[in-house]
Structures are given as C-alpha cells and as structure tokens.
C-alpha cells in the first residue's frame, strides 16, 4: 500500500454523475491531483439515462398533445402525427448536446485522470479498478442508486422494463402496467399515454405521488384519467405476473378484490437503492440500506472519505447531488466546514400540469405537531387559466402561526419555474404577506401564488 503523502492522487472520485463531477472539477481547478472512476457511461444517470432523456421526450409529447387539441383555438391539426424513431433521435440529440453525457474527454481535458471500471476499496486509502490499484489522500463516493424490483411473484422471471430501458423502446407498447406512481412512474405514464399506450398505474400507497400534498394526487389522478385514459390503481398490491404469449397477465389485489388484466409490457418504477457494493468495510465506511452514513458535512465514518448524491439518500435530485458535491469538495480541502441546507430543496414532477413543491407538506406538519395556517387558491382564479384554456391546478401555502412560509405546492403549467419564489421564501423565512404584497405580473401563472398568499393575510 502507498504511504501517507505518497498517494497517487489527492482525490479519487468514484462515480461520474452529478454527485461526483462537481467535486472532481473543483478540486482539479485548485491544482489537486484528481482521478474519476466510472463503471458505466461517463456523466452518470442524469444526462445519459434519466433527467435529460425523459424531459426531452416529455417536451415533444406535450407539444404534440397541445397541437392535437389546438382545434379549439382555431388551429387545424387533424393530420398531425408522430414518428417514434424520430422522437428517439430528438432525445438522443438532447442527450448529446448536454455535454455531460459520455463526457470522459471533458475530464481528461481538465487534468482529471479517468478510469473505466468498477472501483472497490482494498484499504482506507487504496482501491482497485479491474486489476489496477490506485491510492489517494481523499475519496468522494458518488456511486448513485439503482432500480430495485419489488417482491412480486413472477416478476424476476420476465424481462420487465425499467425507466432506462423504456426510453430505448422502438415503439410505444399497446398497453403498459407501471408499478410505482411517484415522480418517475407518473411522468412515464403520461408520456406513453400521449403516444397512445393504454396505461395502468399501480401504486401501493393511497394516492399517486404519495409524498406530495393529498390534493396533488387527487387532481393528477383525475386529470390523467379524463384527459389521457390512464387507469390509476391506488392501494393496489400486484400479486402475480406471468408471461402470456407476447404479453403478460398481471393479477392485483385492490379493495380486497383480485383482478387480472393482460398487458404488452411491465415497467418497474418502484424505488431505488444506493450503490454500496464497493468494499466499504475495507475502508471503515459505515452504511445501511438507506445509504452511506455521513455527518452534516458529508464526511463518512472514515474522516478522509466523503459521500454525495443519491448514495447518501438525503434528497434524490440532480440539483441536490451537485450541491453536495460542491460542498464535499470544499470541506475536504478547507479549514472552514459547510453543511448543505435542504430546507428549501425544490421537488418537481414534470407532468402536465407539472407539480412543484418546497419545504413541509401538511402531513409533515402534522407529524411534527406544528400549529399552522394554510390556504389554497385554484388555478381558475387567474386570468391566464382563461386565455390558455387550462384550469387544472392550484397553489397551496402553509405558514406557521406568525405567517412565515413553511412549505408550498404549485400544480400548474410550468410549476417547476413558479416554485422558486416560494423556495426563496422558505429559505429566507419570508412571510405570506411578503409574497402577497409583491406585484405579480398580470396574466402570469404565478398570480395564483399571490392569491394563495393573500388568503393567509386578509
């Protein structure tokens, strides 16, 4: 093993996604000797397989859907159609254009050595990749997470789809049974339904998007059913899946009644687990099934090893992984220590209407026994709902008894843009009055936020 001060690198980053990339570039810019290791495609999940490809396809789908329904605005859209291989080509172009997908050359041009292969700790300062051994004074573990298959009889005997493989399908299936209706399950349900797939969305919890406010699940369930023909099967336990010709027979239990349906494909979006299979015991890094344990400064039980991104499991978003990566890089090489602030992390589901939230939900407040005030303004209250002929949505704001905003949810077109004023409010402890007294441009969707805030002050 290499001796202290004679390590090959100052920093080795394991995993080249959002959780690894920022730290690697920050350290290299500070003239540290840096290596990054990747066992799959450089750039990680977000640009290659997750955020970028899903949102590129969703953009095309919403454009198609809106144009298809343009007759009411006087548009002639009767002959509109799509070509699925061309849609996939658009998705591939968007992936390529991020610059982060397959970006091994980017690292090399920034003086960061790259290694392709599975990293495994041999000792606290040394890892192996393939048969090579390299050492470092510091490590950042940013190995992300992967899909897990729920324990459903027959599931592991079939070739089910994951969101990653679904995006590579050569055509939309005729029918699709999705297991899991959090952000990703719901986004893909809408995507496929727009392209003509009959979608069944099975969720074990009482509502779809179960981590969001109750009103969100109810609204989205109705919207997806009425406008896209999606059958949401909440409080549903899938009990068996068997191959049936070219498709599958799925049996599920709902309200004590067992039913069986036949579908062409099965998609599993029922949750992810952290990637912790890298010899962490050899480095004395503690972890449990929820991820690697760190202190508030992202330092693991081994003082020279930090962790960031999905493998830590604080909030599985790309913006959180990037923030943690930057903070870990700072903390490793600096005397001052920073801690990531998760209180105002925005959460967005890119459906139509999109769902965006920040801070505490009503359920969170009940669990914490907080005394709160709340107000909800429906989207129909703003003039934009009329001029865009879109009415499904709302803004909901929760404050403490002094009026400080604790949490908020917006369901609207572009809710992912609207949420940031509320994220700032949560972070800075602004009050509902601060929002209500701020002019909001007439005919913007954001007017619904001002109206919800006004209800809390008048």
Ligand X SMILES: Cc1cc2nc3c(=O)[nH]c(=O)nc-3n(C[C@H](O)[C@H](O)[C@H](O)COP(=O)(O)OP(=O)(O)OC[C@H]3O[C@@H](n4cnc5c(N)ncnc54)[C@H](O)[C@@H]3O)c2cc1C
Interface residues toward ligand NAD, by CB under 6 A: 150, 179-185, 187, 202-205, 210, 238, 269-272, 316-317, 348-350
- Identify which of residues 317 and 450 has a Cβ nearer to ligand X in the complex: 317
Phi, psi dihedral angles at 173 (to 5 degrees): -70, 160
Q: Does 15 bind ligand X (CB under 6 A)?
A: yes
Instruction: Pick one of ligand X, ligand NAD, none as the site partner of residue 180 (Cβ within 5 to 8 A by kind).
Output: ligand NAD
* Nearest to ligand X of 357, 399 (CB atom): 357
Least distance CB 434 / ligand X (angstroms): 27
Whether the CB-CB separation of 340 and 423 falls below 8 Å is answered with no
Rounded-to-integer distance, Cα 182 and Cα 361, Å: 16
* Region 73-102 residues binding ligand X, contact defined as CB under 6 A: none
Q: Are 354 and 413 in contact (CB under 8 A)?
A: yes
| Min separation Cβ 332 and ligand NAD, Å | 26
Q: Which of 58, 224, 278, 452 binds ligand X (CB under 6 A)?
A: 278
Q: How many C-beta neighbours within 10 Å does residue 17 have?
A: 31
Q: Is the dihedral of CA 305, 311, 313, 316 positive or negative?
A: positive
Near ligand X by CB under 6 A, which window of 317-325, 366-374, 394-402, 444-452? 317-325
12 scored as a contact of ligand X (CB under 6 A): no
Candidates 39, 66, 214, 400; binder of ligand X (CB under 6 A) is 39
Per-position b or e across 176-186, b if 16+ CB within 10 A of its CB: bbbbbbbbbbb
The DSSP symbol for 209 reads S
The smaller minimum CB distance to ligand NAD, of residues 150 and 196, is found at 150
- Sequence-distant (6+) residues with CB within 8 A of 295 are none
Please say which residue, 173 or 274, places its beta carbon nearer to ligand NAD: 274
Answer for which of 50, 238, 361, 431 binds ligand X (CB under 6 A) is 50
Least separation, in Å, of the C-beta of 186 and ligand NAD?
8
Footprint of ligand X on 194-213 (CB under 6 A): none
Distance CA 330, CA 74 (A): 56
199 bridge partner residues: 176
Helices 84-97, 51-68: inter-axial angle, 10-degree rounding: 140
Residue with token string 């909440």: 234
The answer to whether residues 270 and 179 touch, using CB atoms and an 8 Å cutoff, is yes
Of 35 and 56, the one with the shorter C-beta distance to ligand NAD is 56
**Residue 378: which of ligand NAD, ligand X, none does it interact with, CB under 5 to 8 A by kind?**
none
Tokens of 342: 């998760």
CA-CA distance, 14 to 435, in Å (whole number)?
A: 43
20 binds, among ligand NAD, ligand X, none (CB under 5 to 8 A by kind): ligand X
Q: How many CA atoms lie within 13 A of 217 on its CB side?
A: 19
Residue range at the interface with ligand X (CB under 6 A); choices 77-85, 303-311, 332-340, 376-384? 303-311
Query: What CA–CA distance (Å, rounded) separates 185 from 281?
Result: 34
Question: According to CB under 6 A, which one of 44, 172, 180, 313 is a site residue for ligand X?
Answer: 44
| Residue (18 or 432) nearer to ligand X, CB | 18
Q: Name the segment binding ligand X (CB under 6 A); options: 24-32, 39-47, 171-179, 200-208.
A: 39-47
Give the list of residues 6+ apart from residue 75 with CB closer than 8 angstroms, or none: 67
Which residues form the interface with ligand X (CB under 6 A)?
Answer: 14-20, 37-40, 44-46, 50-51, 54-55, 118-119, 142-144, 163, 184, 275, 278, 309-311, 316-319, 321, 350
């Amino acid at each position: 093993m290499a001796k202290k001060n004679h390590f090959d690198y100052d920093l080795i980053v394991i995993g080249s996604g959002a959780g690894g990339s920022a730290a690697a570039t920050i350290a290299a810019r500070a003239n540290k000797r840096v290596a990054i290791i990747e066992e799959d495609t450089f750039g990680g999940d977000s640009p290659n397989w997750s955020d970028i490809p899903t949102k590129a396809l969703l953009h095309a789908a919403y454009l198609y859907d809106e144009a298809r329904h343009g007759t009411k605005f006087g548009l002639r859209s009767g002959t509109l159609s799509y070509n699925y291989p061309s849609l996939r080509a658009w998705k591939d172009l968007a992936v390529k254009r991020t610059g982060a997908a397959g970006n091994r050359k980017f690292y090399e041009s920034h003086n960061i050595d790259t290694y392709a292969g599975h990293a495994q700790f041999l000792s606290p300062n040394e890892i192996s990749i393939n048969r090579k051994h390299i050492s470092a004074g510091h490590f950042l573990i940013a190995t992300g997470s992967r899909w897990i298959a729920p324990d459903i009889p027959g599931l592991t005997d079939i070739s089910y789809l994951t969101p990653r493989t679904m995006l590579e399908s050569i055509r939309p299936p005729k029918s699709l049974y999705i297991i899991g209706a959090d952000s990703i399950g719901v986004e893909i349900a809408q995507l496929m339904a727009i392209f003509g797939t009959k979608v069944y969305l099975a969720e074990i919890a009482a509502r779809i998007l179960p981590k969001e406010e109750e009103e969100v699940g109810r609204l989205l369930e109705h919207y997806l059913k009425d406008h896209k023909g999606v059958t949401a099967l909440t409080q549903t336990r899938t009990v068996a899946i068997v191959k049936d010709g070219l498709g599958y027979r799925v049996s599920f239990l709902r309200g004590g009644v067992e039913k069986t349906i036949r579908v062409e494909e099965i998609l599993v979006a029922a949750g992810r687990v952290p990637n912790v299979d890298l010899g962490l015991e050899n480095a004395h890094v503690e972890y449990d099934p929820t991820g690697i344990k760190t202190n508030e400064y992202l330092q693991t039980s081994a003082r020279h090893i930090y962790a960031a991104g999905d493998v830590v499991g604080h909030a599985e978003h790309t913006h959180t992984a990037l923030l943690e990566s930057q903070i870990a890089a700072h903390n490793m090489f600096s005397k001052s220590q920073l801690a990531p602030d998760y209180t105002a992390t925005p959460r967005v589901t890119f459906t139509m209407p999109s769902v965006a939230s920040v801070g505490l939900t009503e359920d969170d407040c009940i669990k914490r026994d907080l005394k709160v005030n709340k107000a909800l303004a429906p989207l129909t209250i703003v003039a934009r709902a009329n001029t865009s002929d879109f009415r499904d949505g709302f803004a909901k704001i929760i404050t403490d008894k002094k009026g400080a905003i604790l949490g908020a949810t917006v369901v609207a077109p572009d809710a992912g843009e609207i949420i940031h004023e509320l994220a700032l409010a949560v972070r800075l402890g602004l009050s509902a009055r601060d929002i209500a007294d701020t002019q909001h441009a007439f005919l913007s969707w954001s007017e619904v936020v001002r109206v919800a805030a006004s209800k809390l002050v008048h």
